[in-house]
Structure 1
Amino acid sequence: MDEGFSKVIDWIESFLCAPNSDVGRSGDVCPFAKTAMLKKSIEFFRNHSESVMCLSRDIEMHMEEFQRSGGIYDIYQCRIIVPTRLNEVVSAVEYVQKRLKPAFVERHMMIGQFFQGCEVPGLWNNMFRPLQAPIPLIAIRNMVPTDIAFLYGEESHVRVYLEKFGKRGAIALRQFEMTMEANK
C-alpha cells in the first residue's frame, strides 16, 4: 500500500477508531469506523482526475456503482477516494462534496470531505474538528440515523431523511432539536 493510503489507514485506526475527550460524548470518534475496518468494509480508491469537473464525474460514478453494488444496504460499507493529481485539491474536494451532496442524499447516501484544516465542527462539540484528515479525501457511505446533524437546516435533505427512517428518524430529529436548544 502506498504512503497516502497508509496515512489514511493510520488516521482511521488511531483517530476515528479511538475515544477522544473532545468529541463531547463517550465512545470512538466515529462509532462505525472500527467495525467497518474489522469487516474490511472500507474500499480505497485513487483518483487521477486533473480537473474538478472530472473529479465530480468520477465521484458520481462511484455513487452509482456503490448503489448498484448493494453498498447502501450495509451501514459499514464505505468508499474513500483520494485525488492524486489536482493542484487545488482541498478546494476541489470541498466543491465536489457541496455540489454532489443533494444527489447523494436523494439516494440515501452521504458524501463527506476530509482534509487538514477542515473547519466543519463535530456533532457533539462545536470546537472539535473530526474531519481533519492527513490528506484530502472524499468518503461516501450509507446514510444512518445520526446523520440528521449533517442534514438539518436543508428542508429537502430532512424530507429524504424522514422518508428513509420514518418514525425512528422523527424521534432522532426531535432529539437533535432538543439537544440544539439545550446547547444555546
Structure 2
Amino acid sequence: MTAGDQVLIWTTAEVDGGQVPAEHLPYVREILEWSRDYLVSSHEQLGRSGPVCPYTQPSLRKGLFYLAAVQTPDVPAAIEGLRSWHGRLTATLSEDDQELLTILLALPHLDYTDSTELDNLQREAKDHFVADGLMIGQFHPVCDEPGLWNAQFKALRAPVPLLAVRKLVVFDLPFVIDTDTHAESYLQRFAPDIPTRIRDQLVKRVSSPSEDLATAKG
C-alpha cells in the first residue's frame, strides 16, 4: 500500500510473503521478527509481569500490525503523512480495534550508534500526534530512555531505528506528562473518565514533580 507519495505500508502477511521492494524488505523483516520475539515476550528486567508491549500480540493476531518505509528525502513530511494514514486506517475499525492498530516506520538510514536524530524526529512530531490522539514512540539500537517500571531496563531498544504509532490510551499518562501541551491534550481527551489510580498518579506528579510514575499502568 502507498500512503501518498511519502510512505509505503505493508501488512505482516505481505512482509512474510516477500511482497516488499528489495531495498526495504531486509529491514521490515528484521523489525517484524523482533516484534514477534521481543515485544510479545516478558523480560526479567522489565519490572512487571506480562510482555514488553501488551498491545503487540493482539495487534498481530487481528491483522492490525503494519510495517512501513519512507520513500522521500523529506522524513518529517513522511512522518506527518503517516499520521494521516493511521487516521484513514482506523476509520473503518471498531473502537477496540482502533486501539490495536499499530504502524512501525523503519528508518534504517539513520545512525545506528547515536539516537539523537531519531529522538529529535520523534520530539518534533509528538505535538501533532498527541493532539490527534496518537502515540508516537522511538526505538533505536542505543536508545537510553529508561523503562517505566525499571529505569535500568532500556525497553526501547530495537535492531533498526524506527518510529511506532498507535492510538493514545488512558494508560499512556506517563508518556504525555513531558510537556504541558501533551498533558492538556491527554486531559481533554480522557477526563473525567481517567481511572482512579491514574488520577492519583497525576495528582502526585503535580504536587511532587519528581514523583516516579513507573506504576501508572499498574
Question: How many pairs does the alignment contain?
Answer: 179
Q: 1:66 to 1:87 in 2, by over 3 A?
A: closer
Matched letter for residue 110 of structure 1: M
Correspondence for 2:80: 60
C-alpha contact (below 8 Å) 1:104/1:111 kept by paired residues: yes
Unaligned runs of 5+ in 2: 1-17, 19-24, 206-210
Query: Quick one: distance in 2 between partners of 1:170 and 1:153?
Result: 20
Q: 1:182 to 1:16 in 2, by over 3 A?
A: closer
Structure 1, residues 122-146: CA drift from partner, whole Å, max 9, x if none?
1111111111001011111100122
SS across alignment from 2:66:
strand
C-alpha contact (below 8 Å) 2:148/2:213 kept by paired residues: no
Correspondence for 1:142: 167
Give the alignment partner of residue 70 of structure 1, picking from 61, 67, 90: 90
Give the alignment partner of residue 200 of structure 2, picking from 174, 180, 184: 174
Structure 1, residues 19-76: CA drift from partner, whole Å, max 9, x if none?
11211111111111110111111111111333xxx10001101101212332694111
Query: Quick one: distance in 1 between partners of 2:214 and 2:184?
Result: 24
Larger relative helix fraction: 1
C-alpha contact (below 8 Å) 2:110/2:161 kept by paired residues: no
SS across alignment from 1:112:
strand
1:10 aligns with 2:33: yes
Question: After the TM superposition, which of the residue ranges 6-15 and 131-140 deviates more from structure 2?
Answer: 6-15
TM-score where L is the length of structure 1: 0.86
Aligned-pair CA distance for 1:167: 2.8
Following superposition of structure 1 onto structure 2, how do residues 27-46 of structure 1 map, counting pairs within 5 Å? 27-46=50-69
Correspondence for 2:122: 97
Q: Which protein has the larger Cα radius of gyration, Structure 1 or Structure 2?
A: 2
Aligned-pair CA distance for 1:87: 5.2
Query: Quick one: distance in 2 between partners of 1:158 and 1:180?
Result: 16
C-alpha contact (below 8 Å) 1:161/1:169 kept by paired residues: no
- What's the RMSD between the two structures over aligned residues? 2.4
Q: 1:181 to 1:105 in 2, by over 3 A?
A: closer
C-alpha contact (below 8 Å) 2:69/2:105 kept by paired residues: yes
* Moved beyond 6 Å, runs of 4+: none
1:81 aligns with 2:105: yes
SS across alignment from 1:111:
strand
C-alpha contact (below 8 Å) 1:79/1:141 kept by paired residues: yes
Q: 1:82 to 1:175 in 2, by over 3 A?
A: same
TM-score where L is the length of structure 2: 0.74
Unaligned runs of 5+ in 1: none
Q: Percent identity of the aligned residues?
A: 25
SS across alignment from 1:98:
helix
Query: Quick one: distance in 2 between partners of 1:142 and 1:181?
Result: 20
Give the alignment partner of residue 124 of structure 1, picking from 113, 137, 149: 149
Q: 1:65 to 1:121 in 2, by over 3 A?
A: same
